[in-house]
Amino acid sequence: MRPARCYTHFSSPPYTRKEYIPGVPQPKISKFEMGDPHLDADYVVKIVVLEDGQIRHNALEAMRVSAHKILSAKAGENNFYLKVIRYPHHVIRENKMMAFAGADRLQDGMRLSFGKPIGTAARVYKGYEILEIRVKKEHLELAKNAAKVASSKIPLPSKITIESLASQGNDV
């Protein structure tokens, strides 16, 4: 287990019923699909997680932004299709504590420590795909590089898989 990862691992059931939870912040992800959805791509590059865990919404957004920036700058907006597959449904709670001198007289400690919503996260399990990039053959190396940079933005170990779409089309 890696240190300093407060919300990466989970042991409780998911907390997702937003109609009963007041004050849930909106996910930071602005778009889940970018580029040309009708692109006749040759390859699909995917980021697959290797462990169970949670990915916070701001990490998903950082992953999307970094991959999109690399792809749009070098390949052009119409030469790729990027999709964030996982949606952050799980609501993360925090029992805020005061951390200054004299705080022990002001706070309740563990009493009623259910916590207030501070954000959302996507629960993923080993083998789940979280990002997909579809490109033509000439932009395959660029897509691999974008996926490598994007995978560094998430708190879980991951691998990059490449599938050829041309072989799937011939079998059908």
pLDDT value at 172 more than 50: no
Which tens digit of pLDDT belongs to each residue from 100-143? Answer: 766 555 565 676 677 788 899 999 999 999 999 999 999 999 99
What is the DSSP-derived secondary structure letter of residue 26? P
Domains of the chain: 25-171 (3.90.1170.10)
d(CA 155, CA 144): 19
Distance between CA atoms of residues 133 and 129, nearest Å: 11
Residue 170 in this model has a pLDDT that exceeds 50: no
Identify the residue with better confidence: 106 or 63. Answer: 63
- Please tell me which residue, 13 or 44, carries the higher pLDDT value: 44
What pLDDT was estimated at residue 106? 57
